[in-house]
Structure 1
Amino acid sequence: MGSLQLKSIRKAYGSHEVLKGIDLEVKDGEFVIFVGPSGCGKSTLLRTIAGLEDATSGSVQIDGTEVGHVAPAKRGIAMVFQSYALYPHLSVKDNMGLGLKQAGAPKAEIEDKVGKAANMLSLDPYLARRPAELSGGQRQRVAIGRAIVREPKLFLFDEPLSNLDAALRVNTRLEIARLHRSLKATMIYVTHDQVEAMTLADKIVVLNAGQIEQIGSPMDLYNRPANVFVAGFIGSPQMNFIEGARLGDVKAKTIGIRPEHMALSRESGDWKGKVVHVEHLGADTIVYIDSEQVGTITVRLFGEHRYAPDDIVYATPTVGAMHRFGDDDRVLA
């Protein structure tokens, strides 16, 4: 279908360097997600792959062929944007088939491919409607269908769910996951939402300030973060970081412990503190504690627990689940 190789990709706007030497290989059929904070360069990297931005230096190869000087329309890619970019005067059917029509495809081929994509995305009842008659989720599915009919080598998604409400995001996320399994296509997806990344990706690329911090499967990054940045970015609630701490035999410049790897008691424990806030989420209870020994810490308890602000509690970390980071903020062996 489509593999991708990026070699030493740099992108600068004048003296401002946005991408600082990106090396990445995406295998045929992989679902790869770029995550990182705003301004980290993830959308710029996606647009460089698409040809919508020119790399200042470096190589972009699709299926082993250099495409740095190939026009976007000739790269064998299809892109789904945050905005649906549908033609308001065209029906769903015509929006989905427009690219094929402009390429001169036979009418029968367009009908066949649009029909298959509509069926895959449950859009059959809406083919005669115009975009204004659709919900946000339906419009995004039309945009995805428009990409499917082109049968590209690479699907590129640029924060496609950020305009949807929470329920629609979940539903559309499931549809994209099913779509990937069905098409066995290579997909590259940009998001700032780590839940999307953790639930969809085969491989996550964590970007920060134009550089790759770590590449790995969702659980690799969660269980074995390479540095403090990745440890803090992946996981919600965020990992607790304790500076200059020593707990038993565990010593490091920074010790990290995830909120779910903490026990809480009203009687005894390692760190005494006062509850400052509690989030009752039904399946989870998130307790924020102001501790004299280690500052503010977060504890995630499964199920409903009746803690309240000003309660005095004792938190105890699971020593075997701690992450140790050195002076350079990288994980210690």
Structure 2
Amino acid sequence: MGTLNLSNVTKSFGKVEVIKGVDLSVNDGEFCVFVGPSGCGKSTLLRMIAGLEDVTSGDVLLDGERINDVAPAKREIAMVFQTYALYPHLTVRENMGLGLKQLGTPKADITAATEKAAAMLALDPLMDRRPSELSGGQRQRVAIGRAIVRTPKLFLFDEPLSNLDAALRVATRIEIARLHRELGATMIYVTHDQVEAMTLADKIVVLRAGKVEQVGRPMDLYNDPDNTFVAGFIGSPQMNFLKAEALGLQFDTLGIRPEHLEISESGGEIEGRVSHLEKLGGETLTYVRTDLHGLLTVRQFGEHDHPVDGTVFVTPDQSRAFRFDAEGQRLRG
């Protein structure tokens, strides 16, 4: 079991409140991702769950047991850090088995656990190397292996891919998703990269300034955001926000995804000039500067060409648009 519940959890540093009454449930076997901009409190919240930060008020419960005052080493939680945190003088084998050794686990059990984790992570040929002899991706796999051998109730990942290059991030992301399926373990993953959140999560928790803005499945947040913050944060490129009054509509803001804008050089609803063009092979992103709505992003699938500084016309698909009030809250119905 690995069910986590947070009940009105807060965290203050002196007079500064950084976590402001978070309520959250993470089910056994679920992959939950905390996502939000830098400084929103996601890593602080993760560290409170791990016991590395004290909880100012509220309760942290693991399988129904309150663990606020339980020492980190006794919480049955394993954490994978952004910086790997490997001991440079120990081999891969020794790094992976160190936690079990400190718990007094029999040597034969340590060997069996490390060999099983090494096989899962394709680390078998590297077991006698030291961290300095490994690539960044290999070091991260060792850090993940060190967590696996402990068979914890809950895995915590604190931006584990941020130090890797683009290709390694994709490969390691796929490995983490595979491990989740194989282990069936409860995992909480912190990232500021919404692409990681969308591709890994069963459940996404969107945080802003220490508060939960919305919780839901990835495509639910994409297709049904509660407010302009979630709508703008989830999705890449981000949603366009148009002034509804300028379009003759009776609310404040019209939100429209880049793929739901049509672009033409012959006529349309909103006139603008092409500011920049990004040809990515499988898709083309055209940035259009308009007088009333600022910079709009149009996504077209395939290869397209629009002259920079040329006049174009953009038309939103109203059937795919979102309506928001002056406070940024979603208008439904």
Corresponding residue for residue 319 of structure 2 = 320
**In 2, Cα distance between the equivalents of 1:300 and 1:332?**
25
- Given that 1:261 and 1:317 are in contact with CA atoms closer than 8 Å, whether structure 2 keeps it comes out as yes
- The number of residues matched between the two structures is 332
Q: What are the Cα deviations for residues 231-274 of structure 1, in whole angstroms up to 9, with x where unaligned?
A: 111111111111243646x5321111111101111111111111
Corresponding residue for residue 76 of structure 2 = 76
**In 1, Cα distance between the equivalents of 2:302 and 2:322?**
25
Corresponding residue for residue 329 of structure 2 = 330
- Given that 2:246 and 2:292 are in contact with CA atoms closer than 8 Å, whether structure 1 keeps it comes out as no
1:115-264 pair list within 5 angstroms: 115-245=115-245, 247=247, 250-264=249-263
Structure 2: which amino acid aligns with 1:19? I
**In 2, Cα distance between the equivalents of 1:136 and 1:187?**
22
Instruction: Using the TM superposition, give the Cα deviation of residue 293 of structure 1 relative to its aligned residue in structure 2, in angstroms.
Output: 4.2
**In 2, Cα distance between the equivalents of 1:292 and 1:18?**
38
Q: What are the Cα deviations for residues 106-154 of structure 1, in whole angstroms up to 9, with x where unaligned?
A: 1110111101100000101101111111100000000000000000000
Instruction: Using the TM superposition, give the Cα deviation of residue 327 of structure 1 relative to its aligned residue in structure 2, in angstroms.
Output: 2.2
Q: 1:312 to 1:246 in 2, by over 3 A?
A: closer
**In 2, Cα distance between the equivalents of 1:234 and 1:57?**
30
**In 2, Cα distance between the equivalents of 1:146 and 1:88?**
14
- Given that 1:251 and 1:324 are in contact with CA atoms closer than 8 Å, whether structure 2 keeps it comes out as no
- Given that 2:287 and 2:295 are in contact with CA atoms closer than 8 Å, whether structure 1 keeps it comes out as yes
Instruction: Using the TM superposition, give the Cα deviation of residue 182 of structure 1 relative to its aligned residue in structure 2, in angstroms.
Output: 0.2
- Given that 1:10 and 1:19 are in contact with CA atoms closer than 8 Å, whether structure 2 keeps it comes out as yes
The range that moved more, 309-318 or 29-38, is 309-318
Shift >6 Å, 4+ stretches: none
SS in structure 2 at match of 1:245: helix
- Given that 1:246 and 1:252 are in contact with CA atoms closer than 8 Å, whether structure 2 keeps it comes out as no
Corresponding residue for residue 297 of structure 2 = 298
**In 1, Cα distance between the equivalents of 2:11 and 2:290?**
45
Structure 1: any 5+ residue segments left out of the alignment?
A: none
- Given that 1:272 and 1:293 are in contact with CA atoms closer than 8 Å, whether structure 2 keeps it comes out as no
* TM-score between both structures, scaled by the size of structure 2: 0.98
Name the Cα RMSD after superposition: 1.0
- Given that 1:33 and 1:197 are in contact with CA atoms closer than 8 Å, whether structure 2 keeps it comes out as yes
Corresponding residue for residue 45 of structure 1 = 45
- Given that 2:243 and 2:292 are in contact with CA atoms closer than 8 Å, whether structure 1 keeps it comes out as no
* TM-score between both structures, scaled by the size of structure 1: 0.98
Instruction: Using the TM superposition, give the Cα deviation of residue 291 of structure 1 relative to its aligned residue in structure 2, in angstroms.
Output: 2.0
- Given that 2:241 and 2:293 are in contact with CA atoms closer than 8 Å, whether structure 1 keeps it comes out as no
Structure 1: which amino acid aligns with 2:67? V
SS in structure 2 at match of 1:38: coil
Structure 1: which amino acid aligns with 2:14? G
Structure 2: any 5+ residue segments left out of the alignment?
A: none
**In 1, Cα distance between the equivalents of 2:197 and 2:252?**
29
Structure 1: which amino acid aligns with 2:233? F
Establish whether residue 271 from structure 1 lines up as the match of residue 270 from structure 2. Answer: yes
Aligned-residue identity in percent: 65
Structure 1: which amino acid aligns with 2:13? Y
